[in-house]
Amino acid sequence: MSRDGAESIRAAREAVVEYAPRLADLTPGRSGNLSVRVGDRVAVTPTGVAYDAFDVADVPVVTLDGEQVDGEMAPSSEVPMHTGIYRHRDTGAIVHAHSPAATTLSILGEPLPPIHYMLVAVGGEVPVAGYAPFGTEELAANAVAAMDEADADAVILANHGLVVGGDDLESTVENTVHVDALAGQYLQARAVGDPVELSEADLDDARERFATYGQQPDESDEE
C-alpha cells in the first residue's frame, strides 16, 4: 500500500474512533455500528465493544469481500451489510443504529414518507427493506435493493433498525440524527392527525436550495 493509502486508512480509523461514541446517543447498548470506506478497504467498529473502549490500533480494517486485514479486534457482525452496500452504491461512510423512532417504523414495517424537506439529504422517502437475520448477505441484498429502488441513501430494516449512507462520517451521523428525529415527529403527527407529505416538486425545490445552502466559496478568490 502506498504512503498516501496508509495515511488515508489511518484517517478512516481515527474517524471511526471519533464518531463511534455518537452511537450511544442513537442506539441502546452496543448494537450500533459505523464504517468508512477508503478504496477497497473499510474501517469499521469492532463487535461487542463499548463505543468509547477502543483506539485506532483496535479498529478492524476489512476488504470489500469482508476479509479482515488489520486491527486488533474482531469487526462488527454487520460487516456483510456494510461491504454489500459499498460494493453496490457510491457511499463513503455508513451508520447503522437501532434508534428509537426509526426502529418503531421498522417494527411496523412502514417507510418514512417525505414529510419534511430535510429528508432530501438522504434522497426523500426512506424505504423499508425486507426482513433478514442480522449479519447476513441476505440482509445486505435487501438493504441495497430497497435503497436502489427508492434512490435513497437511507433505509429502514424491517424489525431491525436504520441504515444511513453518506460521503463521510460527520455528515452521515448528522443525517442519521435527522432521520430518526423526523421519524419520531412523523409518529407523533400520526397520533393526532393525518401527516401531510411534500410533493416531488417540493422536494426538487429543496434540493435546488440545498445546492447553495451554507457558506459558499468566494469566487473573487478564485483565479
Annotated catalytic residue within 7, 67, 78, 197: 78
Task: Provide the domain limits for residue 130.
Answer: 3-211
Domain assignment present for 217? no
Domain assignment present for 216? no
Domain assignment present for 55? yes
Domain assignment present for 103? yes
Q: What is the CATH number of the domain that holds 143?
A: 3.40.225.10
Quote the pLDDT of residue 220: 52
Quote the pLDDT of residue 183: 98
Is 125 catalytic? The answer is: no
Domain assignment present for 219? no
Quote the pLDDT of residue 223: 44
How many separate domains does the chain show?
Answer: 1
In the predicted model, residues of the chain with pLDDT beneath 70 are: 1-4, 213-223
Residue 118 three-state SS: helix
Could you tell me if 161 and 106 are in contact, meaning their C-beta atoms sit under 8 angstroms apart? yes
Distance CA 97, CA 119 (A): 17
Domain assignment present for 218? no
Quote the pLDDT of residue 217: 62
